[in-house]
Structures are given as C-alpha cells and as structure tokens.
Amino acid sequence: MKLPTGASRVVFIFAHPAGHVGAPRHYTPYFHEQGLDWHMVPMDVRPENLAETIRVLARSPNTAGFNLTMPHKPAAFELCDEVGRAARFEGVVNTIRIDADGRLVGESFDGGGFLNAARQAGIFDPNRRCVVIGAGGAGRAICHALAAGGLKRLRILNEVPGPVEALATKLRGQFPDLDISLEERFDDAGLCVNATSLGLHATDALPMDPARLPKDCAVFDIIAARRTEFMAACAVRGLKVIDGVAMIRHQLPLQTAFWRDGR
C-alpha cells in the first residue's frame, strides 16, 4: 500500500464514536486502483465540533472531501452551501466535496449504493414488496432509491411513528403510484432491509424475528463493520443475505466521481 506524502490528498470520514469505522480498507485501495494518490482517514468528531472541523479541514488543499456517517448526516446537510437531488429529498448528506471557490457541496449516495448492490445481487424485484426497517438517514435514502428505481410496493417500519409517517408523506408526494404500508408484517416481503444501527454491537437486539420472513425473501443488512447476528440468523434459515460492504463498494465509484468534480 502506498504511504501518504505531503502531496497526497485525504478524504476524511467522520463518525462518533468512530471505533467501528472500517471504510478505509475499501476506499484507499480503490483510490489507488484509480490512479489517485488519495487516502481515507477516519476521525471521531463530536457533534458539537462537526461544523468547525469541516470548515478548518476544508481550507487545506490536501483535503479532497468528506464522508459522513452516524450521527453526522443531518447536521452535515445544514452545513452545505449546495446539495444534490437525493440529499434534498432525504434531508441528509453522506458526501461533501469542496469546490474551487471553497463552497461545500453535499450529496447522499447511500441510496444509490444500496440499489446498485441489490441489483447486482439479483435481489431487487420491483414487483415484490420491500420492507425497510428504519426511517433515519439511511432508511430515507434507501426508500427514496427504491421508489426512484421503480419499486411498486414498500413497507416502512420504525420504532417511533413520527419519522416514518413524515417519510411516507414525502414519498407519496413524489411517487403517487407507490403503494406504501406502515403495517408491521413480513409475510409478503421479497426483500427485507435493516436500515438501522442494530447489529453494530453483539449485544444489540435483532431488528426483527427472521422466522417471520418468507422462505424466498432476501435480506440486506446495511451494517458493514461486522457480520451481525441478524445476518447469521437469516442465513441459517437459508435466506440470501447481503451486507453493508456491498453497499460501500457500490458507493465508491459514485462518491469518487463526485469528489473529483471538486477543486
């Protein structure tokens, strides 16, 4: 692996806490495969320090851009001078580039990475019901991508009703033909998505009981830091399981092209 020098450029990935972040092992090799002397560096940034940290690091010509993960995506949206179409709908950004004039431009590629990964794995059937668990930043991105990708039937579940009802209303406004259900059932699911943080730790509860899923249902768990107990339980049932690493790999070309459009 090529070591960074003073001429290298850095993409910072911000999280809090950041101990689980393993993205650099995917991003830095990809950058080098593309002929870029770029490196990804994770940083633990407390929410109250996010704005200052971004503004200071953006002044350095070595900074190629920023990648945001929990809990920073909504706050990062507010810091941007301009946001893309997906970010505008979702109210979050997971990627920020720095333009030549110093403006911060944000976009959300979670949904695009998810949908491309699901398509490649052969688990996206627009005619089958997709159940998305979680209406946070990742959940909003995934639901938006599924709807834009032509999904006909969507069910959204969330621990508290407010966020999921707001998301459903927004989706219905943009995709009036989309059948949206908020009922907690899984018997008609062709794809079940864990879009929550449950699974980051071995002590976490499962997002749902895999026994409730049909035998031909596929499962996409967006957790990339570890093989979760939910993934293992679904695999034991013989269900096809895709993890968050696939989502990262399919975001990589989208994000890299976005960063390269900056200064």
CA-closest candidate to residue 105, choices 116, 114, 96, 113? 96
Report the candidate in 128, 146, 138 with the shortest Cα–Cα distance to residue 221.
138
Task: Exactly one of 2, 73, 170, 215 is catalytic; name it.
Answer: 73
**Residue ranges of the chain with per-residue pLDDT less than 50:** none
Per-residue burial over 32-44, b = 16 or more CB atoms within 10 Å of its CB, e = otherwise: eeeebebbbebee
For this structure, is 170 an active site residue? no
Model pLDDT for residues 100-122, shown as the tens digit of each residue? 999 999 999 999 999 999 999 99
DSSP 8-state assignment for residue 13: E
- In the chain, the domains with their CATH numbers are 9-108 (3.40.50.10860), 111-247 (3.40.50.720)
pLDDT of residue 80: 98
CB proximity list for 19: less than 8 A, separation 6 or greater:
44
What pLDDT is recorded for position 115? 97
Would you call 76 helix, strand, or coil by DSSP?
helix
Q: Tens of pLDDT along 65-93?
A: 999 998 999 999 999 999 999 999 999 99
